[in-house]
Amino acid sequence: MSREYETVIGLEVHVELATKTKIFCGCSTAFGGAPNTHTCPVCTGMPGSLPVLNRQVVEYAMAVGLATNCTINQNCKFDRKNYFYPDNPQNYQISQLYEPICRNGGVEIETADGSKKTIGIHEIHMEEDAGKLVHDDWDDVSIVDFNRSGVPLIEIVSEPDMRSAEEVIAYLEKLRLIIQYLGASDCKLNEGSMRADVNLSVWEVGATEFGTRTEMKNLNSFRAIARAIEGEKNRQIDLIESGEKVIQETRRWDDARESSHAMRSKEDAQDYRYFPEPDLVPIHISDEWLEEVRSRQPELRTEKLERYESEYKIPRYDAEIITSSKHMADLFEQTVELCGKPKKVSNWLMGETMRLLKEHEMEPEDIVFSPEHLAALVDLADAGTINSSVAKEVFEKMFTDDTDPKQYVEEHGLKTVNDEGALRETIEQVIRDNPQSVDDYHNGKEKAIGFLVGQTMKAMKGKANPGMVNKILKELL
């Protein structure tokens, strides 16, 4: 008799904050850079070095806490988490265990059947990132680079409220949206600015006690997360069904092999001996400071959706696409502010922009063109100064390198020719050159006029006003 099982999933999500400097020193957090160039005695654990807290980290943590409905812990502090690993220069990580900055929040997601569910957030805390290890398989050595050591992280620990991979993905997407909207991080799973560890156990449907859970790491994409959940669920069920026990352990997912293996060895006691960090003083968040951060919270996605529908009269579907990325939403709002044509701007974003993003495998965050330029393009097209196919051509240029549309149109002489006289001349020539089509048209083939329009456009290098061409052709024919 086969039993029915359900997965119980909690997530620990680490987010790299978008500060300019590291959490405890003035080194740059800029991505890239040759190994160990963004380092100093503090973030490399030199003897005698001491940490000093970056205020911006606290404010981002507060912002994320507020946006996820957490209670802000107005008296919080740091603790040391002690363990040995080469990417950890002090062999302790400064984190928060006893008094994290946020507690007891929640985030609403939409489940597969369209109903809403709240995923609880147990706590959010600040901590420092470790360095990077590059493995040299040839020589059996690893090389340590401390550029990333000390980059500020917030860790968002959820309650074990998720029951499926879909819910996990929905939760992650919601978190990402919120955090991106706050500007607190760009949350890119594939770049490591957002990392998720999955805690999973299984229980029989109807059970009241949680099963033993395992922790899964090394999940670098939504796809890997989904597969890992499926894989681990099956592994645990297999164990239980064959009478064995699930061991509480940390496992590493190998997406290429679609399997996991236990990570820790006997040498990792996992007894972190947390104690209050003596080199840092506690943080007291006054009511005034909290209010100040609260008042600076930017409009979040749900609010924007409402506003786009009511103020800009954009259909819900379009609003959802545009607000799915803060960058795109900002672009939309700023462009509309300049040219005041929300529907037209929306069309450009929904149409050509999305098309090109998909074609180039880019994210909306990667859009390079500015609101000024988009507004200019919208105006040029709207005024008929350029026709629609020219507009598309100019847009592609703008998409690639933020070319100024006005300038481009001038330089390449792309203005629509509206001069009847010039057009007439060309059209007359086209009529002379295509007698067959002319006959076809006179014989009732409406489509033939399309061909003639095409030929005219060709002759005019695309710059003719198509409406006018049509009108003149019909006249002359």
Partner 1 sequence: MSLMSLTAVELGKLIQKKEVTAVEATEEALAAITAREEAVHSYVTVDAERAMQRAHKVQEQITAGELTSPLAGVPVAIKDNMCTKGLKTTCSSKILYNFIPTYTAEAVLRLEHAGAVILGKTNMDEFAMGSTTETSAYGVTRNPWNTEHVPGGSSGGSCAAVAAEECSYALGSDTGGSIRQPSSFCGVTGIKPTYGTVSRYGLIAYGSSLDQIGPIAKDVTDCATVLEAISAHDPKDSTSVKREDTDFTQALVDDVKGMRIGIPNDYFGEGLDADVRERILTAAKELEKKGAIVEHFDLGLVKYAIPAYYVIACAEASSNLARFDGVKYGYRTEDYDGLHQMYKKSRSEGFGAEVKRRIMLGSFVLSSGYYDAYYLKALRVKALIKQAFDDAFAKYDVILGPAAPTTAPKLGASLSDPIQMYLGDIYTISVNLAGLPGISLPCGLDSHGLPVGLQLIGDCFQEKKIIRAAYAFEQTRDYARSSIAQEQNGGAS
Partner 2 sequence: MANIISDETIEYVGILAKLELSDEEKEAAKKDMGDMLDYIDQLNELDTSQVEPMSHVFPVDNVFREDVVTNGDGSEDTLANAPLCRDGGFEVPKTIV
- Given the rule CB under 8 A, which residues bind partner 2? 19-21, 25-28, 34-41, 44, 52-56, 58, 77, 82, 84-86, 133-137, 140-146, 252, 263, 265-267, 269, 271, 273, 276, 278, 280-284
Q: Does residue 213 contact residue 200 with C-beta atoms inside 8 Å?
A: yes
Q: What are phi and psi of 143, to 5 degrees?
A: -110, 130
Is residue 263 within the footprint of partner 1 (CB under 8 A)?
Answer: no
- Contacts to partner 1 from residues 93-152, by CB under 8 A: 144
Beta carbon nearer to partner 1, 54 or 325: 54
Binding range to partner 1, per CB under 8 A, among 41-49, 217-225, 411-419, 424-432: 41-49
Structure-token pair, residue 182: 């706050």
- 254: DSSP letter: E
Residue 92's binding partner among partner 2, partner 1, none (Cβ under 5 to 8 angstroms by kind) is partner 1
Least gap, CB of 46 to partner 1 (angstroms) = 7
C-alpha 174/C-alpha 109 separation (Å) is 7
Which of 8, 27, 51, 465 binds partner 1 (CB under 8 A)? It is 51
Least gap, CB of 74 to partner 2 (angstroms) = 11
Structure-token pair, residue 325: 């990325």
Least gap, CB of 14 to partner 1 (angstroms) = 22
How far CA 70 is from CA of 79, 121, 160, 298, 362, in Å, comes to 21, 8, 16, 17, 33
Residue of 43, 143, 131 whose CA lies nearest to 87: 131
Is residue 273 within the footprint of partner 1 (CB under 8 A)?
Answer: yes
CA angle 59, 61, 65 (to 5 degrees): 115
C-alpha 127/C-alpha 469 separation (Å) is 66
Contact residues for 382 (Cβ-Cβ < 8 A; gap 6+): 341, 344
Is residue 279 within the footprint of partner 1 (CB under 8 A)?
Answer: yes
For helices 435-442 and 420-433, angle between their N-to-C axes, nearest 10 degrees? 90
Residue 361's binding partner among partner 1, partner 2, none (Cβ under 5 to 8 angstroms by kind) is none
Which of 77, 80, 326, 463 binds partner 1 (CB under 8 A)? It is 80
Binding range to partner 1, per CB under 8 A, among 79-87, 299-307, 368-376, 447-455: 79-87
Chain mean position to CA 159 = 23
Which of 3, 30, 50, 366 binds partner 1 (CB under 8 A)? It is 50
Give the DSSP H/E element, type plus range, for residue 253. Answer: strand 250-254
- Return the amino acid letter for 25: C
Give the DSSP H/E element, type plus range, for residue 118. Answer: strand 116-128
Which of 20, 30, 37, 84 binds partner 1 (CB under 8 A)? It is 84
Beta carbon nearer to partner 2, 218 or 418: 218
Report the 10 Å Cβ neighbour count for 405.
Answer: 27
Report the 10 Å Cβ neighbour count for 425.
Answer: 12
Which of 6, 12, 35, 53 binds partner 1 (CB under 8 A)? It is 53
Least gap, CB of 145 to partner 2 (angstroms) = 5
Beta carbon nearer to partner 1, 284 or 360: 284
Site of tokens 């790491």:
217
Beta carbon nearer to partner 2, 203 or 289: 289
Beta carbon nearer to partner 1, 36 or 212: 36
Q: Over the range 137-146, which residues count as b (16 or more CB within 10 Å of their CB) and which as e?
A: eeeeeeebbb
C-alpha 409/C-alpha 395 separation (Å) is 11
Is residue 86 within the footprint of partner 1 (CB under 8 A)?
Answer: yes
Residue 282's binding partner among partner 1, partner 2, none (Cβ under 5 to 8 angstroms by kind) is partner 2
Least gap, CB of 26 to partner 2 (angstroms) = 3
Is residue 275 within the footprint of partner 1 (CB under 8 A)?
Answer: yes
Q: List residues binding partner 1 (CB under 8 A).
A: 41, 44-53, 80, 82, 84, 86, 89-92, 144, 267, 271, 273-275, 278-281
